[in-house]
A and B are shown apart, each in its own frame.
Chain A
């Protein structure tokens, strides 16, 4: 083991990985000694060696969880990106195990700062390139209910992955978006939540995954909360998903259908037989929220129709008791959903128009940043298109199509092809 420590202290990055890889099996067999080895390694300077030892500890079922948590925390606080990138698979295993242990021991909040730092380990730009650590991070955020911490991450636009660098696989991506959807839902940002869930079941697929099914269920419910109806599949949804997913979500489809009646008692009646299914999916709370949202939408409709309306009339029109109706209106005013004031003297509610007049610094800076983002995206798309049209595979295909006989159809591509022939 001394030899390992010596090699781990080596400074030549090029040979470090090969030098250490041969010890992997030895380390697995030397569980009792691992803590000692760690104590003589510096997590910053000898990150790779440290990582190898931690990886070996993952397989040790007798280790002290507390000690492991502390060691990983120490490692994450100091690791060297350069060395970690030599062994992404090890890193992912360690992080994954760390997350699991934090969950098992019921202290997910402990790992959040460490994992937040780990986002950059295998991603050059943590806000734009996804890595497996992202998924684990969101998982801890949800477990510890510190939803706001993840907000900057999930609100940024992920557009890229780098599997060679980070070893990311499909389930990481799907789970990342599934978790993001859950966080958005928890923060009542339903539109973003729907977008996230939508990504999960529209991701490229030749088979139906359980993650996609769960995401679709939540997608349906979130849409019901937003609008009381369900939007269909986007055009680019994989056909296999479009064909099969509904058969796994019967209760949800029926709930959506019942919503078209807009009759609350009716919808409640229809939801009850499926209550067990909803509870099993742990979506019962969302179902209740969706049903409740009907009141909100009805009240909102009233604000567009009336300028003043008595509480009693509101109650009658949305089928609630007056005191409950008042509470609803009050809550909606607080949430900024409607603009109104209640006069308790004569029991009248006056509805106002939205005071937002879209002028001032904030609006313009927001618009400006939006425009800049769009320009940036446009640039990326152009770049990709250029790359694609110049790629050998594309050109070969074009030439083959042309030789395939149907000359007339491909004439429009001639200039490009001639250039490269």
Chain B
């Protein structure tokens, strides 16, 4: 299921991307600069993702990915990358063989380490040995085994710091393995730890935000990202960069927060401001949105879009978030008006009157905008519901419903009191039940229905 969706999303935006990425030359999307924000497995994953989704950057990305992989023991992944690269890379089979042997030896060593530790019954050394093993599995891309090893350290944790390490390890594996239920459980667990420093809190918040983003719960995601404390050093580069936090948080907030929340929690928030400084575009577009400069806000968004589509976490959600932001800006634009000229509104949103009309009519139909369109004069009028009329309508409706349901209830009660109910033909012990109901129906039913036969012409 998940896979299908990913493919579909990638496919549907493909056409768009080939056009947009041609303008997205290396000057606009600095791959090297971007990828240096990351380390570890996510760096490789991101590179592969970019290579698969962006033709112009394919060669560069595959080369970098191969280089990164060769720093790790994950020769399987290396082989896949080379296989996928359409001949851009050539297989270094000597390295692969070498690595395979090395890995076996390493695994043996770690296993025997673990066994010795277990034999000595020293909790802490067992834990360390398990951790090493988990780390090794993680690096070689064997996430299920990595997860197992890390979960096993749980019994040997003695201090809260140990527990924290365990949680972070599991979270890391969970994110790479797209297993967000684990992420959420262990983030919650880690948050209970008494000695959290700023860095760990930052990690936890951003992981929770990421998990919410993946579950399409944009509002909680935005809250978590915004609450993330700012750290000078890039402490979490094996999962997220600080730019990511700014972008994810900013877009989710824009899509779900109302105006006052946006002002209070995003624009005026001293911590999140620091994040936004890292990605000026996000700061600008949020400010533009708040200041009702929707045209410029949307053009910033359009400019950002190609690079966002290359983000391994965000790409699935870009369309949804964008359409949410767009609808919200349409709603907000119209909110102070009684009537609006659609021509003016179309210019404000860089679109044509026809497509604007369609968008607005959709919003009206899902009750997001209380208005009606005068298609003849190209105007949008706010609609005021007449409270009195609607109250009358509702009251009469409720009254009728009550009468109907109560009357039917009374009759059913009366039937039960008199023991008149439908029973199966076999035990017809009821008064007056002298022939089968179905027979009764046969006798009367078909002839009357000629009306329905000829009715619908």
Interface residues, chain A, with chain B CB atoms under 8 Å away: 103, 130, 139, 142-143, 145, 157-161, 163, 167-171, 173-175, 179, 182, 185-186, 195, 198-199, 202-212, 214, 236, 279, 281-289, 292, 301, 304-310, 313, 346, 348, 350-351, 354, 356-358, 363, 366-367, 370-371, 373-374, 377, 380-381, 384
- Asked whether, in the complex, the Cβ of A285 is within 8 Å of the Cβ of B452, the reply is yes
Q: Which residue of A lies closest to B410 (CB)?
A: A159
Q: State whether A308 touches B453 (Cβ < 8 A).
A: no
Contact of A160 with B412 at beta-carbon distance under 8 Å, contacts A210-B437, A285-B453, A358-B392 already known: no
Among B377, B389, B402, B422: residue with most chain A CB under 10 A: B422
- Smallest CB-CB A-B distances: 8 pairs: A288-B456, A169-B432, A282-B449, A285-B455, A205-B422, A285-B456, A207-B424, A308-B376
B372/A307 in contact, CB under 8 A = yes
Cα separation A309 to B455 with both chains bound (whole Å): 31
Would you give 8 A-B contacts (Cβ < 8 Å), ordered by A? A157-B407, A163-B431, A170-B422, A182-B449, A211-B441, A309-B373, A346-B376, A370-B396
B377 — nearest CB in chain A belongs to which residue?
A308
Indicate if B454 sits at the interface (CB-CB under 8 A): yes
Contact across chains for B437 and A209 when beta carbons are under 8 A apart? yes
Chain B window 175-205, contacts with chain A (Cβ cutoff 8 Å), 1 for yes, 0 for no: 0000000000000000000000000000000
**Whole-angstrom distance between the alpha carbons of A21 and B441 in the complex?**
31
CA distance A283 to B402 in the complex (A): 30
Contacts of B445 in A (CB 8 A): 214
Question: What is the interface of chain B, defined by CB distance below 8 A to chain A?
Answer: 361, 364-365, 372-377, 381, 386, 388-389, 392-393, 395-396, 399-400, 402-404, 406-416, 418, 420-425, 430-434, 437-438, 440-442, 444-457
Closest chain A CB from B399 CB (angstroms): 5
* A160 near B411: Cβ-Cβ < 8 Å: yes
Cβ distance A270 to chain B, nearest Cβ, rounded Å: 17
If the complex has contacts A170-B430, A209-B422, A307-B381, are A161 and B451 also in contact, measured as CB distance less than 8 A?
no
Asked whether A204 lies within 8 Å of B430 as measured between CB atoms, the reply is no
Cβ B437 vs Cβ A307 within 8 A: no
Among B381, B407, B414, B422, contact of A377 (Cβ-Cβ < 8 Å): B407
CA gap between A139 and B449 in the complex, in Å: 11
Q: Are B376 and A206 in contact (CB under 8 A)?
A: no
Q: Known: A308-B374, A357-B389, A370-B396. Contact between A203 and B412, CB under 8 A?
A: yes
Q: Which residues of chain A are near B420, meaning CB under 8 Å?
A: 161, 163, 168-170, 173, 204
In the complex the two chains form, is A289's CB within 8 Å of B455's CB?
yes
Query: Which residue from chain A places its CB closest to the CB of B385 in the assembled complex?
Result: A353
For residue B444, give the distance in angstroms from its CB to the closest CB of chain A: 6
Number of A-B contacts (CB under 8 A): 202
**CB-based contact B431/A169 at 8 Å:** yes
Chain A: minimal CB distance from B193 (Å): 45
Task: Note all chain B residues with C-beta closer than 8 A to A186.
Answer: 451
Most buried by B among A210, A236, A310: A210
With A163-B420, A204-B415, A381-B410 as contacts: A289 and B456 at CB distance below 8 Å? yes
Given contacts A143-B447, A171-B437, contact A282 B373 (CB under 8 A): no
Closest chain A residue, CB of each to CB of B371: A305
Contacts A169-B431, A313-B375 known; A209 to B438 CB distance under 8 Å? yes
Q: Which residues from chain A contact B444 at a C-beta distance below 8 Å?
A: 139, 175
- Chain B residues closer than 8 Å to A163, beta-carbon distance: 418, 420, 431-432
Chain B residues with Cβ below 8 Å from A171 are: 433, 437, 440-441
Neighbouring A residues of B374 by C-beta, 8 Å = 306-308
Question: Which listed residue, A143, A175, A182, A203, touches B421 by the CB 8 Å rule?
Answer: A203
Chain A residue at minimal CB-CB distance from B441: A210
Contacting residues, chain A, for B412 (C-beta < 8 A): 202-204, 236
Q: Is the CB of B440 within 8 A of A175?
A: yes
Q: Are B402 and A286 in contact (CB under 8 A)?
A: no
Report the minimum CB–CB distance from B389 to chain A (whole Å): 6
CB neighbours (8 Å) of B389 from chain A are 354, 356-358
* Contacts A161-B420, A284-B456 known; 4 new A-B pairs at CB < 8 A: A167-B432, A169-B431, A169-B434, A377-B410
Tell me how far the C-beta of B343 lies from the nearest C-beta in chain A, rounded to whole angstroms: 16
CB distance from B417 to the nearest CB of A (A): 9
Q: Which residues of the partner chain B approach A143 to less than 8 Å between Cβ atoms?
A: 447-448
* Contact, CB under 8 Å: B396 / A307: no
Closest B residue to A156 by beta carbon equals: B407
Contact B375 A309 (CB under 8 A): yes
A16 to chain B, nearest CB (A): 24
> In the complex, what distance in Å separates the CA atom of A214 from the CA atom of B364?
39
Nearest A-chain residue to B381, judged by Cβ: A307
For residue B442, which residues in chain A have a CB less than 8 angstroms away from its CB? Answer: 210
Write out the residue numbers on chain A whose beta carbons fall within 8 Å of the beta carbon of B393. 358
The residues of A that contact B377 with a CB separation of less than 8 Å are: 308
**A301 — which chain B residues lie within 8 A by C-beta?**
365
Given contacts A170-B420, A173-B420, A286-B455, contact A161 B411 (CB under 8 A): yes
Q: B432 and A207: CB pair below 8 A?
A: no
